[in-house]
Structure 1
Amino acid sequence: MIFGRVKSLDAILATAEKKGLHRSLGAFQLTLLGVGAVIGTGIFVLTSEAAQKAGPGMMISFVIAGFVCAVAALCYSELASMVPVSGSAYTYTYAVTGEILAWMVGWALILEYAVGASAVAVGWSNHAVGLLNGLGLHIPAFLSNGDALIANVQMAFGASSPDLITASQVGGYFNLPAVIISVLVTLLLILGTTESARVNAVLVLIKITALTAFVALTIPVLNATNFTPFTPTGATGVLGAAASIFFAYVGFDAVSTAAEETKNPQRNVPIGLIASLGICTIFYLVVAAGAIGAMGAQPVAGLTGGVLSPGSAELAGRCASIVSSGITEPLVCSKEALVHVLDTIGWPAIGRLVGLAAVLALPSVVLMMMFGQTRVFFVMARDGLLPEKLASVHPKFKTPHVVTAVTGLVVTIAAAILPVGKLADYSNSGTLFAFMMVAISVMVLRVKDPSRKRPFKTPAVWIIAPLAIVGCIGLYLSLPLIAILVLPVWGVIGLLVYFLYSRSRSHVGLGHDEVPEIEAEELMPPRPATF
């Protein structure tokens, strides 16, 4: 039976028992952990993308995405408290629904972590280029984005648009800053360092201060007419923006994976999850309100009248035409939306500081996403599903250097040639699938093993888990068509790899379901520094 290989939950739990994690975290620490992990990606990077999809209605999109994250997080927390070891949703699925579905989840997590890291690297590049421009150091367009490459690919496949030609003239072919930050993060992960709670706290303070300053300066100049029409693209646009904005919340699982180190997890884990997601959602809403009210956020239409797709070469071309005509650049055209808003309303110096905050904060997000990817790859290789060479540990640095280098190569290539919005959507397709499988696993395990100890139990699980499943499916179907197709195409490739290579080498399939995690866990490096 292809669904018959379930990894022993007792073998997995033996790792946690041997490690003996100390319970020291309270609700307040968990909340700060969640806020620090979430804020720093989407709000700095995806505001303009969401505005192009939904206009002012993106405020509703933030609420929808936050709700889906909340119900998914409650499901995630139950499994994280029961199986507090490496591997994220891959490990949970392996223990509950079996090897083939675990493989598919692990394969999908490549889209979440590796492609997500690429998206953040491109977002960092946009802010770094803007910051350097403000200092008089200009990086040419052909070295700071891939708009022309995308335009040429579209034209090669027969696409034609009056806006597309302009995009090929103003765009670039290679995102050098994104490549540089990806390579630097890869090298840091290979060298290995220890995480500093003080550095994390400083980064959280920088991000919160920057967003608070933005709100304080934009709310006083808010113009109510900028909110009309509120949903220019209708419910479809709002849901589409919610699907993209979902990327802005990824990182909350840092709270759920800390369940084993939490005092009274039944009480403190849900408080940490809901409080951190609630704080982030409120921040996102007031920042979005400030941006919309200060300068408007209506989508840009093409010369033929239709609303253009965010991240497309056509939109880049249309935006270039608008700017060249002397009109103020619309919010949806900016690659650093919050900085652009402050520049427009007469606070350019504060805008530069907000850009600096993004430049300081985003590399840590790239690092943690790449770290998450290497952990998943490491565990899959350790289980025999990927070449065991990937699980080799550097003799000096004690880090999984091979898998880190492979991950870094993938992240660097994607960041070099693709725009941030497309990367975020591709990442979301994998994340939504993984979260859906976690919600399914929670319900399956409640039926299969109802008596097993659960340090944290999902409240009203037969309501929360189905809501998470429906929410994930709904957001997935609201993604752009290419992003929707990425997941099944990627899944077919994954199945081919599984049946041609992984299935015959699986440790569980070969009867080697002992406790391989223990030795490998001890070889894994400490969590990396979030510089």
Structure 2
Amino acid sequence: MLFDRVKSLDAILATAEKKGLHRSLGAFQLTMLGIGAVIGTGIFVLTSEAAQKAGPGMLLSFIVAGFVCAVAALCYSELASMVPVSGSAYTYTYAVTGELLAWMVGWALILEYAVGASAVAVGWSNHFIGLLNGLGLHVPAAISNADALMAHVAIAFGAAPSADLTTAMATGGWVNIPAVVIVGLVTWLLVLGTTESARANAVLVAIKIVALTVFVILTIPVLKSSNFDPLMPTGTVGVFGAAASIFFAYVGFDAVSTAAEETKNPQRNVPIGLIASLGICTIFYLLVATGAIGAIGAQPVMSAGIPLSPGSPELAGRCASIVASGTLEPLVCSKEALVHVLSSIGWPGVGRLVGLAAVLALPSVVLMMMFGQTRVFFTMARDGLLPAKLASVHPKFRTPHVVTVVTGIGAALASAVLPVGKLADYSNSGTLFAFFMVAVSVMVLRKTDPTRRRPFRTPAVYIIAPLAIIGCLGLYFSLPLTAILVLPGWGAIGLVVYFVYSRSRSHVGRGLTEVVSDDELAPAPPGAR
């Protein structure tokens, strides 16, 4: 039977107690962790991507994406309070719907965390390059983006040569070296084990919040109602398409649940961390988006009445032509949207400071994405589904160095050649599947184990969970076709790995339900070196 391997909640909790991580995080630290993981490339960079898909209608897109995350967060909160262990959606699925689907969720989380880290790295690179250019230090396009490479790839795969593609090939670059460098630096820091400092994370969160607050204060007073007309130039399809992309701006709050095993009083603190971080970020996003649209407008760049695809070489070429003509660069063309808005309304110095804030703070998001990835791999290895060696710890630094380096290499390769929007969409496909399975799991567990203690209960669960399921499906099918196809393609590779390697080595499949202490599989506690 394919679905007969279910790991009991009692076994999961017992394993966590024996092989568990050091519990040291409180509600405030979890909230800061959640905000630190959420506020990043999504709002600093993907504002442009959303505007190109929906125009001013991206305000509605933020609301749609935030609502889907909110109902998913309520489902996460119940499961995380019941099962306060590492592994997040993977662990919950294992306990409810069985090993095969749990494996698929864990495999999909690679898209969320590793590919998500790549997207944030590209967003950081865009701001770093913009900051250097603002200081008069020009970075050659050849090593700061891959627009020319993508244009050549598009033509090689059958795209008709056009003026926009020709411009992209002439003005674009071949590889994003700064993105590769920041991924390498974060990987090195994770191996050293010096990056789990809650105090340092809180400082970086404060920098991001201050930067966004300053942006709102300077842009709201100069709002022009005309910039919101038309509100939905691309219709509801554009709004939902932008919501599917901007969903990435909210991804990261579930990193709070991956830290449940390292949390004091997780039954209380995990739900607080999840909901508080999501609520704070949603308020900031709506204010920032309103300021950006109202200050300079956010109408998409069209071709024959159809918006050009964000991140495409065609849009890169058209934007290069617009800038070359001396026209003010549209918001949708900017790779550092908030900086561009402030510069356009007469605050270039403050804009550079906001860019500096992004340069300082975005590496923490890369760090949290990669940190979440190592914890998921750690839990899968603990269950026998991945080689124990993959999650082994460094003898000196007490960190899972092997899986960290592997994750870093993959993230660096993706960030070197792909634009931020495409990476975010690919990441979203995996995240939406994980959220979908969490919503399913919380309902199934209410039926199969109704008497188990639930420190946090999802209110109106048979309304909230179906809304999360419908929302995840709606956003998934609103993604670009390539992003939609990434999930089943990646899933097919995962199934091959599962049946060739993991299934025969599964601890549950082999009947190894007893708890065996294994210090070698325990990463260093937060703050350790």
Amino acid at match of 1:64: V
Cα separation, 1, equivalents of 2:29 and 2:400: 29
Amino acid at match of 2:476: Y
Deviations 1:141-179 (A, max 9, x none): 010111111111110011013311111111111000000
Matches within 5 A, 1:296-335: 296-302=297-303, 304-335=304-335
1:138 is aligned to 138
Deviations 1:226-279 (A, max 9, x none): 11100000000000111111111112124445667466946x655554443222
2:217 is aligned to 216
Shift of 1:422: 0.2
The alignment partner of 1:59 has SS state of: helix
1:114 is aligned to 114
2:92 is aligned to 92
CA contact 2:84–2:267 (8 Å) conserved in 1? no
Cα separation, 1, equivalents of 2:214 and 2:330: 21
Shift of 1:192: 1.1
Matches within 5 A, 1:442-457: 442-457=442-457
Shift of 1:425: 0.3
Cα separation, 1, equivalents of 2:476 and 2:515: 36
Shift of 1:416: 0.4
CA contact 1:56–1:230 (8 Å) conserved in 2? yes
Amino acid at match of 1:525: A
1:229 partnered with 2:230: yes
1:190 partnered with 2:191: yes
Cα separation, 2, equivalents of 1:32 and 1:408: 24
**Higher mean C-alpha deviation, range 99-108 or range 506-515:** 506-515
1:61 is aligned to 61
1:39 is aligned to 39
The alignment partner of 2:518 has SS state of: helix
CA contact 2:215–2:288 (8 Å) conserved in 1? yes
2:414 is aligned to 414
2:14 is aligned to 14
Cα separation, 1, equivalents of 2:501 and 2:35: 40
Deviations 1:439-492 (A, max 9, x none): 111111111111112222211111111111111011001101100010011111
CA contact 1:44–1:358 (8 Å) conserved in 2? yes
- Distance change (3 Å), C-alpha of 1:10 and 1:275: closer
Cα separation, 2, equivalents of 1:524 and 1:308: 46
Cα separation, 2, equivalents of 1:253 and 1:487: 19
- Distance change (3 Å), C-alpha of 1:471 and 1:442: same
Amino acid at match of 1:206: I
1:284 is aligned to 285
Shift of 1:378: 2.2
The alignment partner of 2:59 has SS state of: helix
Cα separation, 2, equivalents of 1:414 and 1:24: 32
Shift of 1:387: 2.7
CA RMSD, aligned part only? Answer: 2.1
Matches within 5 A, 1:17-32: 17=17, 25-26=26-27, 31-32=31-32
Cα separation, 2, equivalents of 1:159 and 1:399: 46
Cα separation, 1, equivalents of 2:93 and 2:53: 34
2:253 is aligned to 252
The alignment partner of 2:196 has SS state of: coil
The alignment partner of 1:409 has SS state of: helix
Gap runs ≥5 in structure 2: none
Cα separation, 2, equivalents of 1:480 and 1:107: 21
CA contact 2:56–2:298 (8 Å) conserved in 1? yes
- Distance change (3 Å), C-alpha of 1:177 and 1:301: same
1:164 is aligned to 165
- Distance change (3 Å), C-alpha of 1:25 and 1:384: closer
1:339 is aligned to 339
Deviations 1:489-528 (A, max 9, x none): 1111111111122112222212222225x53587212247
CA contact 1:81–1:257 (8 Å) conserved in 2? no
The alignment partner of 2:173 has SS state of: coil
Cα separation, 1, equivalents of 2:448 and 2:80: 17
CA contact 1:23–1:263 (8 Å) conserved in 2? no
1:369 is aligned to 369
**Higher mean C-alpha deviation, range 226-235 or range 381-390:** 381-390
Shift of 1:32: 4.2
Paired residues, what number? 526
Gap runs ≥5 in structure 1: none
TM-score with structure 2 setting the length: 0.95
Deviations 1:401-431 (A, max 9, x none): 1111111110000000100000000000000
1:524 partnered with 2:520: no
- Distance change (3 Å), C-alpha of 1:289 and 1:25: same
Cα separation, 2, equivalents of 1:258 and 1:391: 17
- Distance change (3 Å), C-alpha of 1:451 and 1:17: farther
- Distance change (3 Å), C-alpha of 1:421 and 1:467: same
Cα separation, 2, equivalents of 1:387 and 1:20: 19
CA contact 1:214–1:338 (8 Å) conserved in 2? yes
Deviations 1:155-209 (A, max 9, x none): 0011013311111111111000000000111111111126333222221221111
- Distance change (3 Å), C-alpha of 1:497 and 1:272: closer
The alignment partner of 1:482 has SS state of: helix
**Higher mean C-alpha deviation, range 126-135 or range 77-86:** 77-86
